[in-house]
Amino acid sequence: MIKRKMNLSLLSLSLLGIIFFGFLSTAASASTTYQLGLRKSTDEYTVIQYDDDGWKATIKPVSNPKEYFEGDANVTGAKSKQTIKGWVDQTYTTYDALLSLYFAIFEYIAWNTFQGNLTAAGYNETTINANYTNTYNAWYGVSAEWWFTDGEFEEKPNNTLSPIIIMKDPSDFNSILDDCNAIIEDILNDSTIDKNLKFVLSNRTADEFLWQLAFKGLAIAEPHGNYLESIVSELGCENASVSGSTLVFERYGLTNYTVEISYGDKGIMSSFTVKDLSDTVIYQITSSNSEWLFYLILIIVSASSVALVVYVVFRNWKRKR
Amino acid sequence: MRNENDFFIGLTPIFHTIIFEMKKQRKKLYFFTMVSILVAVLLSYILQLFPDYLLADTQAEFFSSGLSFISFITLFAACLFFSGIICSEFNKRTGFIVFPKINKYKLILGKYLGNLFLVIFIVTVYYIVLGLFGFFYYGGPINIRIFYSYVFAVLYVIALSSFVTLFSSFMKNVNITIIITLIILLMGFNIADQIVTLIYADTFEPLYSLAYLGNLITSVLENPFPDPRYVEYSFGGIGPGGMGGHFSFGTWITPSIFMGTTLLLVYIIGCFLLAALLFKRRQL
């Protein structure tokens, strides 16, 4: 009997040990790299301030926030929302990175239009990946996106596959930029390439690349500050800086202005602020979610259930006595 | 005033039977409540812990996928809670008492209502858990169609319970009633639906089938409501040169809301009337 009990205790201890070792090793391996903070949830974005005159006087007379965000982004009080649906590990080849991260949409369209010319000149997927052998590991998330509206949200999202891209190593952005710039340089110097395509394609500076990424679903991993610092320093941005979890762009329109993009605990954009020369906010979007209300309800329900069970047990115990 | 008092005095035995039945069935209640919470948590939370298992685009789609097991839970619950309502009275010979202390119809009604409240409670718990997670992932407000779905789920539970009660009125044994009703509801209706669809395709809708009527619980969540409600898949020309027979198979997705509601009510009324008649006849 005693022997059996001892065996049982040993077995329990071994199982506990394995689980504990598993936790420790996970923590140890996880702490060496950046951590993904994404969670499946919905965030609502609200335009809390828009000064149309200030915008036109600072950025461009014929522009408005719709250039950055879809829908009624130029209406104070307009709302949009984003539901993070899930994510997978993804490896980008240089060709993938060129098409999905480096190119703006018009460049992507032109690239596809001149596909025959590019293939004949040796700029197809196989040759590009053979010449530029770097691969980049990322977390690729998808989200459902409801564009800004000043009314009620439609039931169905406007975009069901909006990308969220987080490079596991932020220094990869620099390699992508260098490789893609080199490819574009080659194409621009290649006499067999159609002039119309050359007219569309151009090299990017680090600042332009980062600015473009910010609107292409760039999200960040934890620790946020370090991750952002790493992106900005590795890319060698001149007009971008980091303050906490906020990426600050120094931009120039009619006058100088700054754009501050803050990232929340999930690593996606939590606020977007445009300030003019005198630091006056001319446009601001903030995000919110209802998770706290869920936890509040959960606490109330749990507490009520526990109280009920305690009451029933106590009543039964009292009756038996 | 006196009539009113008589009425309430007449209701008291039913009320007492309800309370008694609910207390008697509490172990089943705990079991099914735990199962429904576990299934709801598994479908709406545990599965979502896997990052590559994509969250549905909308709250309504999330509810729809979370409700895929509600028909099983309600079906098993109905069979286990209602199968003994009438036949246990005869099995234990209490149904043959010539001068009972309580009117037998009031007793059966009380037992039925007591069990019905318990099964509705189980369904409600399932919807609450699902609703909470829907709120967690998508925020408020909760999509109004989940409430429509809940109404259909309750209606479906009542129809199922009346169907099982009908079987309980003429079967001799509780266990046999459970087995027979489970076989009919789980397999019988589904097999019959498939045969009918294979023979009649879109010309005959399997509106007789409780399993088919139960599809309203999830299809009411869809926006827009499925139209057409009969879908046919066909393939062919797989032989050389595009030759070869053309095969097609169709399926009825859901009854219309009006027809579904009407037939569920017909089921409820019809089964209860038949059960009452059989119960009366059995006592003679």
* pLDDT tens track for A120-133: 988 989 999 999 99
Supply the pLDDT for residue A12: 60
Q: Does the CB of B60 have a partner CB in chain A at under 8 Å?
A: yes
A9-18, B105-114, B160-169, range with the lowest pLDDT: A9-18
Provide the mean pLDDT of chain A: 89
Q: How far is B273 from chain A (nearest CA, A)?
A: 39
Q: pTM here?
A: 0.86
Q: Residue A49: inside a domain, yes or no?
A: yes
- Does A271 score more than 60 pLDDT? yes
A133 plus A100 within the same structural domain: yes
Choose between A287 and B96: higher pLDDT.
Answer: A287
- A-chain residues within 8 Å CB-CB of B54? 85-86, 142
Q: Residue A14: inside a domain, yes or no?
A: no
pLDDT band at B281 (very low <50, low <70, confident <90, very high): confident
Give the domain extent around A170: 34-289
Q: How far is B225 from chain A (nearest CA, A)?
A: 13
- The SS3 call for residue B16 is helix
Within 142-181 of B, beta carbons closer than 8 Å to A belong to 143
Q: Residue A154: inside a domain, yes or no?
A: yes
A261 plus A297 within the same structural domain: no
Tell me the Cα Rg of chain A: 26
Q: Does the CB of B121 have a partner CB in chain A at under 8 Å?
A: no
- A-chain residues within 8 Å CB-CB of B132? 294, 297-298
Give whole-number Cα distances, B197 to A87, B137, B186, B262, in Å. 40, 38, 18, 22
Supply the pLDDT for residue B223: 87
Q: Number of helices and strands (H, E) in chain A?
A: 11, 9
**Total tally of structural domains belonging to chain B:** 1
Return the residue in B30, B137, B223 with the most chain A beta carbons within 10 A, the one to mutate for interface testing: B137
Region class of A71: left (phi > 0), else alpha (psi between -120 and 50), else beta: left
Supply the pLDDT for residue A27: 45
A249 plus A303 within the same structural domain: no
A284 plus A316 within the same structural domain: no
- Does A17 score more than 70 pLDDT? no
A48 plus A190 within the same structural domain: yes
Supply the pLDDT for residue B11: 81
Tens-digit pLDDT profile for residues A202-254: 999 999 999 999 999 899 999 999 999 999 999 999 999 999 999 999 999 99
Supply the pLDDT for residue A314: 92
A108 plus A203 within the same structural domain: yes
**Total tally of structural domains belonging to chain A:** 2
Q: How far is A28 from chain B (nearest CA, A)?
A: 21
A35-44, A127-136, A140-149, B9-18, range with the lowest pLDDT: B9-18
Tens-digit pLDDT profile for residues B118-154: 999 999 999 999 999 999 999 888 999 999 999 999 9
A259 plus A321 within the same structural domain: no
A225-229, B57-61, B241-245, range with the lowest pLDDT: B241-245
Q: Which amino acid is at B31?
A: F
A153 plus A164 within the same structural domain: yes
Region class of A279: left (phi > 0), else alpha (psi between -120 and 50), else beta: left
Supply the pLDDT for residue B258: 95
Q: Residue A9: inside a domain, yes or no?
A: no
Rounded distance, CA A170 to CA A232, Å?
9
Burial pattern A98-119, b for ≥16 Cβ within 10 A else e, equals: bbebbbbeebeebbeebeeebe
- ipTM (interface pTM): 0.83
Q: Residue A130: inside a domain, yes or no?
A: yes
Rounded distance, CA A58 to CA A66, Å?
16
A128 plus A200 within the same structural domain: yes
Of A86, A289, A298, the CB nearest to B54: A86
Q: Residue A190: inside a domain, yes or no?
A: yes
pLDDT band at A23 (very low <50, low <70, confident <90, very high): very low
Supply the pLDDT for residue A276: 92
A49 plus A180 within the same structural domain: yes
A278 plus A299 within the same structural domain: no
- Summarize the confidence of residues A187-202 as an average pLDDT: 90
Inter-residue contact A219 to A164 (CB < 8 Å): yes
A176 plus A301 within the same structural domain: no
- Summarize the confidence of residues B42-51 as an average pLDDT: 94
Judge residue B201's burial from the number of C-beta atoms within 10 Å of its C-beta, 0-12 exposed, 13-18 middle, 19 or more buried: middle
- Summarize the confidence of residues B214-237 as an average pLDDT: 87
Q: Please choose, from the candidates B221, B215, B224, the residue with its C-alpha nearest in 3D space to the C-alpha of residue B252.
A: B215
Give the domain extent around B150: 2-283
Q: Please judge whether B54 and A291 are an interchain contact, meaning their C-beta atoms are less than 8 angstroms apart.
A: no
Residues above pLDDT 90, as percent of chain A: 75
A vs B: CB pairs below 8 A = 58
- Summarize the confidence of residues B160-175 as an average pLDDT: 91
